Amino acid sequence: QHFASRHHTHLHTPPHLVKMSAIAAQRIALPKTFNGQKVSTVGAKAVAPSVKMANKAKYTARRSVRVMAGVFSDVEQAPADPILGVSTAYQACESPDKLNLGVGAYRTEELQPYVLEVVKKAETIMMEKGENKEYLPMSGLPAFRKATLDLLLGAEHPAIAEGRAIAIQSLSGTGSLRVGAAFLAKFFPGRKVFFSNPTWGNHKNIFGDAGVEWDMYRYFDPKTVGLDFEGMIEDIKAAPKGSVILLHGCAHNPTGVDPTKEQWEVIADTVKECGHLPFFDVAYQGFASGSLDEDAFAPRFFVDKGMEIMVSQSYSKNLGLYSERVGAINIVAADAESATKSASQMMKLLRAIYSNPPVHGARIVAEVVGNEEMFAEWKAEMEAMSGRIDGVRNALKADLDELMPEKDWSFVTRQIGMFSFTGLSPAQVENMTNKWHVYMTKDGRISLAGLSLAKSKYLAEAMVDSFKNY
C-alpha cells in the first residue's frame, strides 16, 4: 500500500517471484515416469534412477581416487611440545590437588591468570582514541620501538642518540629470535651459535629451523645447583672466533641461576677478546628483580664496553601480554650506517615470514611507557608480581627445610625469576606427576609463578617424597 500510494499505480508481482512461480508450475507438470521408470525432480529437471546411480558411481570413484593419492600420508606425527604438552596433560587431570608448574605464565594467589590494571587502563585509552586497524610498517609502531630501546638501554643512552641502536617490532621473543636467526644464517653463514647448557627448549628449534648450527657451553652445575662459571668461561674461550654467544639477560630459563655483576664483567671481557657476537634473550626485564634497570644490567654493560650486540625482547611476562605476541629484535652496531643496513635486511626477512607485526599489544606498551603516571603504576605492579614469587620461594624453602632438614635447599631462594631448577631426575618428575598430580617439565624445572602459598606445603611434600623414594 505504501508503494502504491507513493507512486499512484497498482502493485505488480516482482520479476523474481514470477520466475519462481514458473519453476514451481514446471515441477507440478513434470511427468511421473521416464522411459518406464519412476523419476524424482531436482529443480525443473526429471532424473531417472539409473542416471542417479551412474552419477553417484562417478562421484564415488572420483572421491576414492583423491583419498588413494595419499599426498600427506608419509608425513610423520610430530612429538608433543615438552612445555605446552604439560598444560594439555594438566587439563585432562581430574585431581582436585593438581598443580600446573610447567608453562611460565604468572598466576595470582588464587592461581588465576592476571591482567595488569595498567594494561586495562591503556586499552580504555586506546578505545577512546578510536584507533584504526591499518597495517603497521614492517619495522612496527614507531612509539613502541622508541619505548623498547628506552627500556633496554635507558632513554639517554648515547647509542640511541647516535642512531647505532635500532629496534624492530616482532612477534614476542620467539618471533624476534627467529628473525635474528634468519639474519645470522643469511649474512654470517657458517657461524655457530652457542647456548647455555641447559637453555630454553625452543632456542634449538628456532635457530635449527633457520639453518644455524648450534652447540652448548657449560652453565649449570648440578652439584651446587648453581652456576658453573669456570666451565662457562672455558667453553666461550674454546668456541671458534666470531661465534654467536646466546646469553639470557636475566632470570635464566630454566635454571633461575644468573651470573653476578662481577661475573658478567668477566663474561663480557671474554666474549670481546674472542671476537664473539653476543646475542641477548631478554624475556623477563623488570619481572626478575622487580626493577627494569637492574634487569637490564648485562646488555647495557656490554654496550657500554663498546661491543656490538643483538637482543630479542618480549613483553609477555612483564606486561602479561602473552597472547598479544609483542616484542622486538634489536641491534646495536658500531655506527648508524651499519645499524640501518642491518635493520633493512631484517625487515626484508620478516616480510617473507609474517609481513608486518600486530598493533594492539604494541599500542599498549607505547601507552604505558609513554605516560609517566601509568609507567609508575606498571613498575609497582611488576614489583608486586616479583614480590609474590619471592614470597612463594621463601615459603617453599621453609617447608622443605622442615620436611627434609638434612638436604640443602638454599638453591630455591638463591635462584631468581619465574623458575626454579629443582634437580629432580626424570624418574622423580614422573612420581611428581603420577602420584602427586604436579605437572612440570621433565628436566625438573618448576614455574613458581604457578604456585600459591596455600599449595607450598603440598609441593614440598611431593618433592621430598620424590627425592627420598625415587
* CA separation for the pair 292, 37 (Å, rounded): 84
* CA separation for the pair 364, 319 (Å, rounded): 9
- Rounded to 5 degrees, φ, ψ at 445 are -80, 135
* CA separation for the pair 450, 130 (Å, rounded): 36
- Report residue 379 as a C-alpha cell: 613498575
Amino acid identity of residue 394, one-letter, is: N
- Rounded to 5 degrees, φ, ψ at 419 are -115, 160
435 is catalytic: no
Of 121, 200, 399, 436, which is the active-site residue?
200
317 is catalytic: yes
Best CA proximity match to 44, nearest among 58, 24, 64: 24
User: What is the 8-class DSSP label of residue 169?
Assistant: E
- Report residue 67 as a C-alpha cell: 583419498
Of 228, 235, 317, 378, which is the active-site residue?
317
Alpha carbon separation from 67 to 56, 61, 77, 441 (Å, rounded):
17, 10, 19, 39
Find out whether the peptide bond into 254 is cis, omega within 30 degrees of 0.
yes
Q: 446: Cβ–Cβ under 8 A, 6 or more apart, which residues?
A: 101, 419, 420, 422, 438, 440, 459
121 is catalytic: no
Of 228, 281, 295, 399, which is the active-site residue?
281
3 state DSSP class of 429: helix
Instruction: Work out the end-to-end distance of the chain between its first and last CA atoms, rounded to an integer number of angstroms.
Output: 87
Catalytic residues: 200, 281, 317
